[in-house]
Structures are given as C-alpha cells and as structure tokens.
Amino acid sequence: MASATPNDTVLREQGSVFMPRYDSFGLITAVAVDRSSGRLLMLAHMNADALARTRETGCAHFWSRSRGALWMKGETSGHVLRVIEMRVDCDQDAIELVVEPAGPACHTMAQSCFYRRLTPEGTLESVPGD
C-alpha cells in the first residue's frame, strides 16, 4: 500500500471525498449506534464489499474475520440493523453506522454487545438494563 501524500491527508481529513483508509488486512472498523438512544450496539469490521453492500441495501453488512466471509447482521436471526446514516471519522479509518435495530444487536440476545463492565477489582458485571 502506497503511503499517503500531504495532499491526500488534507483531502481525506478535511475534504468532501470519501476515501476509506483500510488496514493491511483490507478492513475498516465499524461501530453501530442506535438512532433513538445513541447507545453503542456493536463493533465489527468491514471490507470494501461489506461497505458497498451496506450502501446498496441499507442494511449493515460486515466482514467476519473468524469465518473469512461477508455477512449481513440479522441474516439468520432477523435482527437486522437498518442504516439511517453513515459517518466517517477524521482520518477515514472508522465508520459509524447510525441504525434502527430490529431486535437485540448481540448474538447473546443482549440489546448491545457491550452489556458488561469491568469493575475496579478486575471482574465483569452486567450493566443494568441488559
């Protein structure tokens, strides 16, 4: 992968051109946030195909690193994430999906994949409400 020129950096960080900056594995980090509550629902990764399918269909698609395959969130459970808006961070290496979830976002059936917190003692405890 060629290194970015100073002009590329300015264009990527301040311009209006969408220039996703994928990592060395061809992935970009994606987070899904509930449109209504603003709550962080999940974190996953997208490759160029997942990003394109998301834009085409309006439903969140991701790249499974463990399976090495493209997948649509909710394709088996029905708990799809309908994408309302896509936002990109300042250097375009992360995507925020503002979504309307059709059910729990986590495969454990929790509303969010972030349903536990780390205590000062170093243990995990459930977050109230999940």
pLDDT in tens, 68-88: 999 999 999 999 999 999 999
Q: Using the predicted structure, report yes or no on whether residue 31 has a pLDDT greater than 80.
A: yes
Q: What is the CATH topology of the domain spanning 20-126?
A: Ubiquitin-like (UB roll) (3.10.20)
Cβ proximity of 41 and 105 under 8 Å: yes
Q: What is the pLDDT of residue 7?
A: 77
DSSP 67-122: TTEEEETTTTTS--EEEEEEEE-TTSSEEEEEEEESS-SSTTS-SSS--EEE-TTS
pLDDT in tens, 90-120: 999 999 999 999 999 999 999 999 999 999 9
- What value does the mean pLDDT of the chain take? 93
| pTM score of the predicted model | 0.87
Cβ proximity of 63 and 70 under 8 Å: yes
Cα–Cα distance between 57 and 38 in angstroms, integer? 22
The arithmetic mean of pLDDT across residues 26-41, rounded, is: 97
